[in-house]
């Protein structure tokens, strides 16, 4: 039975178990559903037939989600058990296949430690015994050439992209540590997800229409910023006629030019450094410049300068909250330059997207919680006058403009029974709001 069929069966079965409908009423509605084109959802048919109220449907859908998630967890556990048995004396490619089969995001290999994957935010071991240093060296060196091995031994770190047919691309980082070598393999999906599948808010659809300015993506480490950025780029690619240049280290998602022309460059490989890369980029007639990282003060100034000269700049900055991202951009500079940065931010910043990945109620997957700041006149004044701490108040009163506070995004997920209250409390600016909900 396919996934859609499972959902229909669960909903009908639950409606019977909860006593909302009789078997005869359910059969009648299932027959109506089969004969209708386009085929409606079973819940809609039950409501139209007068057998179900909206509130009751909400209860059934929440229970259905829980059942489907439990089933998914059981399948994942069974799959992991099979993989554990098959990974004895495995090659590196076998570990990477295991990562893909489990739907994990990262593989961790380290001398004198067991192999681990990160699955739904948690670290899970793939073997009962540790990999010794000789074995770890054999595994890691099997995927790189002699030049890379020499560089790794000399510099003690090595970063590269590993493309594997059928498995996708992996962002790889090798490193030295006290007991030998270690490596992290992070899988980049081959298909670029769309906005709906990520759970991004509708306001993201406005970005392709922007002609100039700075759009900032921020959030903690491993919060899906690169994936959101790729989704935005692809939406521009299919809907607009633009020249897009990306500057990344490394290049993660690979784009095919569609409506737009997309040129991707890797810092350190195609261009020597960020400064010269952006300088050359500005002479190559781009409409949109994508910067994979603007953490350095010089990067921030150059990104704002590019926005000032009429380009749309999409930049990624690692920072846990929107206001901390703005503080970091301003305070990374000193004296008169800091005042200039505030004025440039006020003039050219268009939107800040801050996101977190939060485990679901049953820990079977991660859900995106997104905070949105759109820069209106009130926000501009607060930035110019160094009152960043007052911006959340503007966001609170400007929801009709598409702004959304992280606490509200978390609350939406809690109310839909998607994430547990405890996870929301751990991430909220105002935990008491959620604790009060739990008490109720």
Q: How many domains does the chain have?
A: 3
Q: DSSP class of residue 41?
A: P
CATH number of residue 182's parent domain: 3.30.450.90
Q: How far, in Å, CA of 427 to CA of 437, rounded?
A: 15
Q: What is the pLDDT confidence band of residue 77, given thresholds at 50, 70 and 90?
A: low
| Residue 145, Cβ density class (10 Å: 0-12 exposed, 13-18 middle, ≥19 buried) | exposed
**Position 11 pLDDT exceeds 70:** yes
State pLDDT tens for residues 199-214.
Answer: 999 999 999 999 999 9
**For residue 181, what pLDDT is reported?**
96
144 and 233 part of one domain: no
The last residue of a domain, from among 188, 209, 237: 188
Percent of the chain with pLDDT over 70: 91
Residue range 338-366: mean pLDDT, rounded: 90
d(CA 172, CA 381): 43
Give Cα 57 to chain centroid, integer Å.
30
- As a whole number of Å, the end-to-end CA separation of the chain is 39
Q: Using CA atoms, how far apart are residues 151 and 148, in angstroms rounded to an integer? A: 5
Query: How do residues 234-253 score in pLDDT, each as one tens digit?
Result: 999 999 999 999 999 888 89
261 and 112 share one domain = no
pLDDT at 182 over 50: yes
Is the same domain home to 94 and 154?
yes
The pLDDT of 88-108, averaged and rounded, is 87
Please list, in sequence order, all residues whose beta carbon lies within 8 angstroms of the beta carbon of residue 67, skipping any fewer than 6 positions away.
10, 14
> How many helices (H) and strands (E) in the chain?
18, 13
Residues 108 and 235 in one domain: no
Same domain, 276 and 384: yes
Integer CA distances (angstroms), 299 to 288, 292, 303, 345, 421, in order: 16, 11, 6, 14, 38
Which phi and psi (to 5°) does residue 163 adopt?
-90, 130
Q: Show the domain range for 365.
A: 195-404
> What does pTM read for this prediction?
0.76
175 pairs with which residues across the strands?
157, 182
């Amino acid at each position: 039975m396919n996934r859609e069929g499972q959902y229909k069966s669960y909903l009908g079965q639950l409606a019977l178990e909860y006593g909302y409908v009789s078997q005869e009423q359910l059969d009648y509605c299932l027959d109506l559903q089969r004969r209708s084109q386009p085929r409606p959802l079973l819940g809609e048919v039950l409501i139209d037939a007068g057998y179900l109220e909206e509130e009751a449907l909400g209860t059934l859908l929440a229970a259905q989600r829980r059942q489907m998630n439990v089933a998914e967890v059981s399948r994942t556990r069974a799959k992991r058990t099979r993989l554990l048995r098959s990974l004895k004396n495995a090659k590196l490619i076998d570990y990477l296949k295991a990562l893909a089969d489990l739907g994990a995001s990262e593989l961790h290999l380290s001398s004198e430690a067991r192999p681990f994957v990160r699955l739904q935010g948690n670290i899970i071991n793939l073997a009962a015994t540790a990999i010794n240093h000789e074995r770890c060296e054999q595994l890691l060196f099997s995927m790189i050439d002699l030049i890379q091995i020499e560089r790794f031994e000399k510099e003690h770190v090595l970063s590269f992209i590993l493309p594997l047919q059928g498995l996708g691309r992996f962002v790889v980082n090798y490193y030295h540590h006290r007991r030998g070598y270690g490596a992290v393999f992070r899988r980049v999906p081959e298909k670029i997800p769309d906005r709906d599948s990520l759970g991004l808010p509708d306001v993201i659809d406005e970005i392709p229409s922007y002609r100039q300015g700075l759009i900032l993506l921020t959030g903690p480490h491993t919060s899906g910023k690169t994936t959101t950025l790729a989704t935005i780029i692809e939406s521009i690619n299919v809907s607009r006629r633009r020249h897009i240049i990306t500057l990344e280290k490394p290049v993660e998602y690979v784009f095919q030019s569609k409506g737009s022309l997309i040129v991707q460059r890797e810092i350190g490989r195609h261009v020597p450094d960020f400064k010269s890369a952006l300088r050359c980029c500005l002479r190559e007639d781009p409409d949109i410049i994508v910067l994979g990282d603007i953490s350095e003060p010089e990067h921030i100034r150059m990104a704002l300068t590019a926005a000032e000269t009429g380009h749309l700049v999409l930049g990624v900055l690692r920072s846990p909250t929107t206001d901390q991202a703005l503080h970091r951009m301003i305070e990374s500079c000193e004296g008169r330059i800091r005042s200039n940065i505030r004025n440039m931010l006020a003039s050219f910043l268009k939107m800040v997207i801050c996101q977190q990945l939060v485990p679901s109620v049953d820990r079977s997957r991660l859900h995106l919680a997104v905070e949105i700041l759109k820069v209106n006149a009130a926000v501009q004044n607060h930035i110019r006058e160094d009152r960043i701490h007052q911006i959340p108040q503007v966001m609170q009163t400007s929801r009709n403009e598409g702004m959304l506070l992280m606490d509200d995004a978390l609350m939406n997920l809690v109310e839909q029974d998607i994430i547990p209250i405890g996870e929301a409390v751990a991430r909220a600016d105002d935990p008491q709001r959620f604790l009060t909900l739990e008490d109720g």
